[in-house]
Amino acid sequence: MVTPSTPRLVVAAPSSGSGKTTVATGLMAAFAARGLAVSPHKVGPDYIDPGYHALATGRTGRNLDAYLCGPELVAPLFLHGARGCDIAVVEGVMGLYDGAAGEGELASTAQVAKLLGAPVVLVVDASSQSRSVAALVHGFVSWDPGVRVGGVILNKVGSARHEELLREALDSVGVPVLGALRRARPVETPSRHLGLVPVAERRALAVSAVSEMAALVSRGCDLPALEALARTAGTVPGGSAPWTPDFSPTHDHPPRSAGRLDQESARSAERLEEGAARSTVRLGQESARPAERPGRGAARSAGKAKPRIAVAGGPAFTFSYAEHTELLTAAGAEVVTFDPLHDEELPEGTAGLVIGGGFPEVYAAELSANEPLRKAVAELAAAGAPIAAECAGLLYLCRELDGSPMCGVLDATARMAERLTLGYRDAVAVGDSVLAAAGTRMRGHEFHRTAVEPGAGAAPAWGIRGRERRVEGFVQRGVHASYLHTHWASEPGVAHRFVERCRTS
């Protein structure tokens, strides 16, 4: 059961690197250790932190992204995740007021806190300041009167005297200090080019790290006061009901992002859509080719009531939103997972594949060595089966990745790049595909340090709108492959369309 008044806290900070993840994850684990059922959430598109949240709470970590899903879905998705929980902890992103570039407060932690009517706990790195902390906190408290900063947790405090000076300074601000964490050896949470190493790659060490975070927070924070603060959150604003993955194709569900386009974006979309007809013709010609016989372990289930959809998992493919599987299941699919590092066959009866994000570049040699599975994926694609691939999935379908042979489904090569590609994207489907009809508008997120050549096929997956208008990705028979991460809760028809194609193709 879920109530609109579920106790809740948002853990934020003035900037990245202040200790949000340590405090939020430790707080989740500490509350769980007190016997509370904790609902874990993360602001923004991040896939990695929710894995640590899941370890801390024993529940699926979920994202709240007002850019990808729209502000109107933040509260319903929160309530969906908080079902059956005693308290919810939401970890923020970047600094409290940082959001999508050039979009004001959109997708910021502050916006999410307001949409949830949740008090904010500000984590402040106090390592190089004393009295100045009062000016810093005062600025964050007064910047937006709609954001309620209910307390401060001081991080990296040097000594008892240092803590005393900080508390004295903050007395003048009127915001209670709810914790002080002493400067100590950092909790071991290794990172690399895209952030923390995911839980799936270091589970034993991750469990130990979460335990350390819980102990640190339990020692340094006033847990009863933090729980009491969470209970001051009233009913979630707007009278929202919990989100549900159920979707009726007959229900009028206009694309969420379409209503927020400015005139220039709309004109850009129209120009991109003019090319969609040509791409659609090519796609239709390719789709009309006779299907080839699928490979071993991939017997098709066309026409069956519950098509079997295989979702890539394991250490190389860890990026996925929980709502995607829920949407596929609600649309009538049987969802099974497989590990491309170790499984030499696709699950029996596979009718379609979903290959999400992750780190195939780290496991290129091992993925390449699993030749039987690479062949099975290529044969399934050649048979016209629906395949949805995002980012890491795109790399896996290329001919090669940093010289290591991959599945060869796409006539493209992938390599590590010098620069990180990162940011939100406003996109339109350039042609029909197994995921979307031409002209479908969605918002997504890119996050990678790799490059694919060419960047788009003869029939691109998306047209990216904005300052740098371009096309990217590949639509090829039943394949939709792109760097763009999307959240299907914003357009549940995507999952329904994919399941229907798996059922009938």
Q: Which residues are catalytic?
A: 391
Angle between helices 20-33 and 203-220 (to 10 degrees): 80
Size (the chain), residues: 505
User: Around 503, how many Cα atoms within 13 Å sit in the side-chain half-sphere?
Assistant: 15
Task: Identify whether the C-beta of residue 122 lies closer than 8 Å to the C-beta of residue 177.
Answer: no
Helix (H, G, I), strand (E, B) or coil at 425: strand
Strands 404-405 and 87-91: unpaired
Cis peptide before 237 (omega within 30 of 0): no
Task: Identify whether the C-beta of residue 130 lies closer than 8 Å to the C-beta of residue 166.
Answer: yes
DSSP 125-186: E-TT-STHHHHHHHHHHHH-TTS-EEEEEEEEE--HHHHHHHHHHHHTTT--EEEEEEP-SP
- Residue 101 CA, chain-centre distance (Å), reads 18
Task: Identify whether the C-beta of residue 456 lies closer than 8 Å to the C-beta of residue 473.
Answer: yes
Angle between helices 20-33 and 223-230 (to 10 degrees): 90
Task: Identify whether the C-beta of residue 430 lies closer than 8 Å to the C-beta of residue 279.
Answer: yes
